[in-house]
Amino acid sequence: MQDRKSKIVAKHAKGLEFLMKRIKLRRSSYGKLTGGAQNGVFTVEVVNDNNASHLKAKNIILATGSEARMIPGLEAGDRILTNIEILSLKDLPKSIVIVGAGAVGVESLRSTVRSIVM
């Protein structure tokens, strides 16, 4: 199952990369809208490799991603798992408690349940 997941992720990543190149979409490690649109054009401060530049665009995609938030004092390990560890498990756990109802917690639950059902 992990092998299948890895192949699907790689396929989708390559497909997305191809589409981004095809439409000349620029990806940045960090970007910030510098204000509202003026005449329908936004200005974005983009930072790549500690170099800042300003771009103007009519259309912008904000893909913020997600990150697991740990309970203070706890660290991910063998018994405490974030979404990253859950999606990399080789074997299903005998039992599991998922804390959180945000996108990361819900996706971890959905992936775990789907694995159990399959």
Q: What domain count does the chain have?
A: 2
Judge whether residue 107 has pLDDT over 70.
Answer: no
The reported pLDDT for the residue numbered 17 is 86
Please write the tens of the pLDDT for every residue from 13-44. 898 888 888 887 766 667 788 888 899 999 98
Please write the tens of the pLDDT for every residue from 40-70. 999 988 887 778 888 888 888 777 776 777 8
pTM of the model: 0.47
Specify whether 53 is located in the same domain as 71: no
Domain stops at, among 57, 76, 104: 57
Domain that holds residue 82: 66-118
Instruction: Say which residue, 58 or 83, is predicted with more confidence.
Output: 58
Instruction: Look up residue 62 and give its two tokens.
Output: 């904000």
| 2-33 exposure pattern, b = at least 16 Cβ within 10 A, e = fewer | eeeeeeeeeeeeeeeeeeeeeeeeeeeeebee
